[in-house]
């Protein structure tokens, strides 16, 4: 993908289920299934790498049965290698691993490839773009955290980070690799992140907690992300 001019590019809206009311997760999955979203994002958190604890393997399996399109699992855990087999058996399509969570990120990405699962790598706000330089060719997406995991404060400087990453990937002939922005993505920030070079915008609270409802809000966000 040529990003010589990032203004006007399209970006996909990716619903992040963790933004829904925990008492309404089943309904939220059904709501997303009624949209044309190609991916749904699941945050798997262990209470150690980040303060929260979220979806475990049984929850992932249940979502897999209820949602017929691609599932994108974001591992926010220590010892991510211990989760790969279960997620592979559950039939997830894409697993993104934090570069900060393991000294063996290349091995984990290769293990995912061998299992037939697409791989991603995630960068915390304080982790430089150079951390993915040696493994970018192994992944479908690089996820740039726009908040510190476990918090909700959007960090403006991550927009420039996305822009630098997009330019670097394109310069290396890796323009096909998607950049996903995660954290604090709102309707007001969609165009900003899209024009910086993000191809995927992971939207959680701004989607599920909008009083308009999931389907109308999703359509509105898609319109903002279309670059039209």
Which among 93, 111, 182, 199 is annotated as catalytic? 182
In terms of Cα–Cα distance, which of 57, 44, 132, 56 is closest to 95? 44
End-to-end Cα distance, the chain: 18
- Known active-site residue 182: yes
57 burial level (CB within 10 Å; 0-12, 13-18, 19+): middle
Which among 43, 93, 170, 195 is annotated as catalytic? 43
Cα dihedral value 183, 188, 4, 120, nearest 10: 20
- Known active-site residue 43: yes
Pull the structure tokens for residue 51.
Answer: 């303060």
Q: Phi, psi (5° rounding) for residue 53?
A: -115, 130
Three-state secondary structure call for residue 45? strand
Residues annotated as catalytic are 43, 182
């Amino acid at each position: 993908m040529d990003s010589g001019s990032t203004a006007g590019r399209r970006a996909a809206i990716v619903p992040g289920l963790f933004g829904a009311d925990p008492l309404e997760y089943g309904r939220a999955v059904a709501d997303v299934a009624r949209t044309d979203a190609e991916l749904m994002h699941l945050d798997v958190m262990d209470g150690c790498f980040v303060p929260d604890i979220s979806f475990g393997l049984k929850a992932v399996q249940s979502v897999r049965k209820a949602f017929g399109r691609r599932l994108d699992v974001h591992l926010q855990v220590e010892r991510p290698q211990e989760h790969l087999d279960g997620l592979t058996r559950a039939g997830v399509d894409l697993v993104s691993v934090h570069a900060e969570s393991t000294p063996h990120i290349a091995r984990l990405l290769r293990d995912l490839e061998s299992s037939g699962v697409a791989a991603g790598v995630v960068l915390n706000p304080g982790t430089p773009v150079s951390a993915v330089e040696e493994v970018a060719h192994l992944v479908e997406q690089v996820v740039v955290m726009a908040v510190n995991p476990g918090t909700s404060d959007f960090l403006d400087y991550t927009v420039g980070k996305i822009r630098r990453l997009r330019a670097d990937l394109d310069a290396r002939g890796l323009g096909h690799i998607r950049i996903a922005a995660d954290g604090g993505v709102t309707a007001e920030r969609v165009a900003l992140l899209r024009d910086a070079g993000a191809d995927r915008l992971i939207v959680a609270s701004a989607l599920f907690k909008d009083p308009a409802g999931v389907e109308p809000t999703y359509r509105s966000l898609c319109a903002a992300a279309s670059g039209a």
